[in-house]
């Protein structure tokens, strides 16, 4: 099989799964536990996708200390109650299995820590489709998308994968910018959380999984 790309990196939230319900419910719980007003549903949705500490800083205006306090509330609650409150997008299981059956190596590249990311993939029986599962480190030191993408490439290389012509698949501008920081183009999925403006700088945008499969596997 002749394929356009030598390896593929996939974002998770908003790209493979709609994980917003579990994330926003956990955020609401976090703000409540902190004794702060709970943001509106649309405000909470803006937290979905970027690294959580960045969102606490940029959207809630938290100091680093406040962000760590919020994270200490958020993380155990999300693992206990929020992680499985997600649905997989139409066509994604078949697409990921088609990639797995092809010669093209596949890595997850998510700003979500690797434990909850893996739990989600296992919940939908698609973890085995990935050669590498790359996410934020547990301490969030590696959470910026550019760092996650770089780590995914390192791990793919370690498996012997050809990383000469990679592509990122994502739904938010931080996916696009994080990939670009590593010289990697992005295909934008329109079913996620990103606005049309966030497509800027991508090589293509797709409306369906079938359309995406055509671009990834030829």
**CATH number, residue 54:** 1.10.150.240
User: Where is the domain boundary, 82, 103, 127?
Assistant: 82
Could you give the C-alpha distances from 154 to 80, 132, 182, 209, 216, in angstroms and in order? 31, 10, 12, 27, 21
Residue 1 lies in a domain: no
Specify whether 36 is located in the same domain as 48. Answer: yes
Domain membership flag for residue 39: yes
Which residues make Cβ contacts (< 8 Å) with residue 35, sequence separation at least 6? none
| H or E, element range at 122 | helix 114-123
**211 found inside a domain:** yes
* Structural domains in the chain (count): 2
Give the distance, in angstroms, between the CA of residue 79 and the centroid of all CA atoms in the same chain: 16
Statement to judge: residues 165 and 131 lie in one domain: yes
Asked if 25 and 102 sit in the same domain, the reply is no
For residues 96 and 74, state if they share a domain. Answer: no
Alpha carbon separation from 205 to 8, 9, 195 (Å, rounded): 15, 15, 12
Tell me what pLDDT residue 218 has: 87
Residue 64 lies inside a defined structural domain of this protein = yes
The residue out of 32, 58, 82 marking a domain boundary is: 82
Catalogue the active-site residues.
Answer: 11
Residue that terminates a domain, selected from 29, 62, 82: 82
Both 72 and 29 in one domain: the answer is yes
Q: Which domain holds residue 205?
A: 7-18+86-217
Strands (E), the chain: 7-10, 17-18, 87-88, 106-113, 132-136, 166-170, 186-189, 204-206
**How far is Cα 74 from Cα 197, in angstroms, rounded to an integer?**
30
Instruction: Look at residue 146 and tell me if it is in a domain.
Output: yes
pLDDT of residue 139: 78
Which pLDDT score is estimated for 33?
Answer: 98
139 and 188 in a single domain? The answer is yes
Q: What is the CATH number of the domain that holds 160?
A: 3.40.50.1000
Q: Which helix (H) or strand (E) holds 70?
A: helix 64-77
98 and 191 share one domain: yes
128 found inside a domain: yes
Instruction: Report the predicted TM-score, pTM, of the whole model to 2 decimal places.
Output: 0.93
**What are the b/e assignments for 44-80, b being 16+ CB within 10 Å?**
bbebbbbbbbbbbbeebebeeeebebbbebbbebbee
| 99 and 192 share one domain | yes
d(CA 190, CA 15): 9
| pLDDT, block means (10 residues), the chain with 218 residues | 88 97 97 98 92 94 96 95 95 98 97 94 97 91 91 98 98 97 98 95 98 96
Pair (104, 138) in one structural domain: yes
Report which of 133, 72, 78, 74 is spatially closest to residue 100, judged by C-alpha positions. Answer: 133
Could you tell me if 11 and 30 lie in one domain? Answer: no
């Amino acid at each position: 099989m002749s394929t356009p790309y030598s390896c593929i990196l996939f974002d998770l939230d908003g790209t493979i799964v709609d994980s917003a319900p579990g994330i926003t419910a956990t955020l609401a719980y976090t703000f409540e536990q902190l004794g702060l007003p709970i943001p509106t549903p649309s405000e909470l949705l803006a937290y979905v996708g970027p690294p959580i500490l960045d969102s606490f800083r940029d959207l809630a205006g938290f100091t680093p200390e406040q962000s760590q306090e919020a994270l200490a509330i958020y993380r155990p609650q999300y693992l206990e109650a929020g992680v499985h409150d997600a649905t997989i997008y139409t066509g994604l299981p078949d697409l990921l299995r088609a990639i797995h059956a092809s010669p093209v190596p596949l890595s997850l590249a998510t700003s979500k820590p690797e434990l909850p990311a893996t739990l989600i993939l296992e919940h939908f029986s698609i973890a085995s489709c990935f050669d590498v599962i790359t996410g934020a480190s547990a301490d969030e030191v590696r959470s910026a998308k550019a760092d996650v993408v770089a780590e995914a490439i390192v791990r793919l290389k370690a498996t012997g994968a050809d990383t000469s012509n990679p592509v990122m698949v994502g739904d938010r501008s931080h996916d696009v910018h994080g990939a670009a920081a590593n010289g990697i183009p992005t295909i934008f999925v329109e079913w996620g959380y990103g606005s049309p403006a966030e497509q800027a700088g991508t090589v293509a945008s797709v409306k369906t999984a079938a359309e995406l499969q055509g671009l990834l596997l030829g």
